[in-house]
Amino acid sequence: MTGRPRACRLSAIAMANNLGAGIAEIWPRLAGGDTSRFVRRRGLAPDREILVGMIDADFPVLDPSMAEYDCRNNRLVAAVLSQIRAPIEDAIRSFGRGRIAVVAGTSTSGVGDAEEAIRHRERTGSLPRRFRAAQLEFGGIAEFVASWLGTTGPAFTLSTACSSGARALASARSLLEMDVADAVVCGAADTICGLTSSGFSSLGLICEELTNPCSVNRCGITLGEAAAFFLVTRESGGVQLTGVGESSEAHHMSAPDPDGAGALAAMRGALADAGLAPGDISYLNIHGTGTPANDAMECRAIWTLFEDRVPASSTKPLTGHTLGAAGATEAAFCAEILLHRAARELVLPPHRWDGVADPALPRLDFAGDGRRAVTGETCHVMSNSFGFGGNNCTLVFSHGPEVGS
């Protein structure tokens, strides 16, 4: 692509999810396929208790000057960004505040706080004094990040359902390509709330037990909450975002194209953008929600492109489906898989399911416990994120001396 920078590096990575807060906590649980950290909660969906992946960590108290944005979602964002505050400050000093952009994704924003405010009004007749409408605006997350960091470059929010976090990374690369910014803080966050829990429950898409992706016994999603953010720069080395594939099939408001045409287009687009062939991919993090329709279309699309020649897994049985944060979270997982490569071997997160394959679906090569992928000096991994309305995004990440230089 004409004008693309020589490199698009994930220069700093931060995250929090059901597996822990920070890479040191998350990596061993990710590599080990830890599903032990889910909890059951009432009050999120009508007349039922559901299994959810919650973040077990304290979030910082925001300064009173941030009161307009003070919601649980943004406090989570602040907690995660604190993990990489130092390299962000270095970038600000190097490039100037006006050359640092912000792209953030979400699908819930501060809706959970709005729900509590409404309950407070029902009890007392008035909204809480701390409640502000901006706390639940989708655009508020990017405005908050820019204000909290003190950056003055472009700042905007994306909300394309479950592909929001992946598209935030794609947009960050575009801002570097267009020389609109020299560095981009990008990522996504979503926290558990009643609106999405009740919505998925009413659609019959929440599983009573842990999500069981691609099994004949799959029955729906397990919800989770998460945030993952990156500092993306033009530096060489490290993990590079080398391929982006996006499609908008608009097949249905909430159901994917059953043939997987949109998913296939996104994967093919990402490979073409990276200049790679299917055989170059060493691992595929599938969207893998555990719903009948999503898993069926995704397995068909993957088989069309790869057959069973790429090891794959869904990490949603480890984190829950984190909605708008899923694409960013799974991108961070892919980056860490590359960064933890040793002796040209990748440690692959296991695909947690009951092992009972659906005979109606192509049988993919699902990674089991202790699975390793042997790579060349340069290796490439792929991540799928497919959202409501056919908002699809596939990313390819690469690591090695032949990329980003």
What is the mean predicted confidence (pLDDT) over 81-101? 98
Q: In the structure, what pLDDT confidence band is assigned to residue 252 with cuts at 50, 70 and 90?
A: low
**Marked catalytic residue, from 193, 207, 299, 321:** 321
**Residue 163 exposed, middle or buried by CB count within 10 Å (0-12, 13-18, 19+):** buried
Q: In the structure, what pLDDT confidence band is assigned to residue 248 with cuts at 50, 70 and 90?
A: confident
- Enter the pTM of the model: 0.95
Strand 281-285 with 379-387, pairing: parallel
What is the mean predicted confidence (pLDDT) over 90-99? 98
**Active site (annotated) includes residue 287:** yes
- Chosen domain end from 205, 233, 261: 233
- Chosen domain end from 200, 233, 266: 233
- Chosen domain end from 203, 233, 263: 233
Determine, yes or no, domain membership for 1.
no
What is the mean predicted confidence (pLDDT) over 370-377? 94
Structure tokens at 11: 């220069």
> Are residues 186 and 254 part of one domain?
no
> Are residues 221 and 72 part of one domain?
yes
What is the mean predicted confidence (pLDDT) over 171-175? 97
- What are the Cα distances from residue 393, in Å, to 62, 264, 291, 351? 33, 10, 18, 21
> Are residues 52 and 116 part of one domain?
yes
Rg, Å, the chain Cα set: 20
> Are residues 383 and 279 part of one domain?
yes
pLDDT single digits (tens) 299-312: 999 999 999 999 99
**Active site (annotated) includes residue 351:** no
The Cα 182–Cα 99 span in angstroms is 6
Determine, yes or no, domain membership for 341.
yes
pLDDT single digits (tens) 11-20: 999 999 999 9
> Are residues 193 and 92 part of one domain?
yes
pLDDT single digits (tens) 306-329: 999 999 999 999 999 999 999 999
Determine, yes or no, domain membership for 378.
yes
> Are residues 219 and 265 part of one domain?
no
What pLDDT is recorded for position 251?
67
> Are residues 296 and 174 part of one domain?
no
pLDDT single digits (tens) 48-66: 999 999 999 889 999 999 9
Q: What is the CATH number of the domain that holds 292?
A: 3.40.47.10
Determine, yes or no, domain membership for 380.
yes
Q: For 205-219, 250-264, 379-393, which range has the lowest pLDDT when averaged over its residues?
A: 250-264
What pLDDT is recorded for position 57?
87
Residue 4 pLDDT > 60? no
Residue 199 pLDDT > 60? yes
> Are residues 280 and 180 part of one domain?
no
- What are the Cα distances from residue 275, in Å, to 1, 185, 244, 403? 10, 26, 11, 11
Determine, yes or no, domain membership for 347.
yes
Q: Tokens 């944005």 belong to which residue? A: 69
> Are residues 331 and 269 part of one domain?
yes
pLDDT single digits (tens) 284-293: 999 999 999 9
**Active site (annotated) includes residue 321:** yes
Query: Could you tell me which residues are beta bridge partners of residue 248?
Result: 391
3-state SS string over the chain? CCCCCCCCEEEEEEEEECCEECHHHHHHHHHHCCCCCCEEEEEEECCEEEEEECCCCCCCCCCHHHHHHCCHHHHHHHHHHHCCHHHHHHHHHHHCHHHEEEEEECCCCCHHHHHHHHHHHHHHCCCCCCCCHHHHCCCHHHHHHHHHHCCCCCEEEECCHHHHHHHHHHHHHHHHHCCCCCEEEEEEEECCCHHHHHHHHHCCCECCCCCCCCECCCCCECEECEEEEEEEECCCCCEEEEEEEEEECCCCCCCCCCCCHHHHHHHHHHHHHHCCCHHHEEEEECCCCCCHHHHHHHHHHHHHHHCCCCEEECCHHHHCECHHHHHHHHHHHHHHHHHCCECCEEECCCCCCCCCECCCCCCCEECCCCCEEECCCCEEEEEEEEEHHHEEEEEEEEECCCCCC
Determine, yes or no, domain membership for 3.
no
**Marked catalytic residue, from 8, 186, 287, 334:** 287
Segments forming the whole domain that contains residue 130: 9-233
> Are residues 212 and 106 part of one domain?
yes
**Marked catalytic residue, from 8, 71, 162, 207:** 162
Structure tokens at 253: 């408001």
The Cα 108–Cα 140 span in angstroms is 11
What pLDDT is recorded for position 2?
38
Structure tokens at 344: 């040209």
> Are residues 327 and 298 part of one domain?
yes
The Cα 270–Cα 382 span in angstroms is 9
Q: Tokens 């570097």 belong to which residue? A: 176
Residue 109 pLDDT > 60? yes
pLDDT single digits (tens) 118-155: 999 999 999 998 888 888 888 899 999 999 999 999 99
The Cα 72–Cα 230 span in angstroms is 20
Determine, yes or no, domain membership for 159.
yes
143-148's contacts with Cβ under 8 Å and 24+ in sequence apart are: 143/69, 144/66, 144/69, 144/74, 144/77, 145/77, 145/81, 145/102, 145/104, 145/185, 146/102, 147/66, 147/69, 148/62, 148/66, 148/69, 148/77, 148/78, 148/81
Q: Yes or no: say if 384 and 213 are a contact pair by the CB < 8 Å rule.
A: no
Q: Yes or no: say if 106 and 141 are a contact pair by the CB < 8 Å rule.
A: yes
Average pLDDT, the chain: 93
Indicate the number of domains in the chain. 2
What pLDDT is recorded for position 1?
38
> Are residues 214 and 252 part of one domain?
no
Determine, yes or no, domain membership for 63.
yes
What pLDDT is recorded for position 6?
66
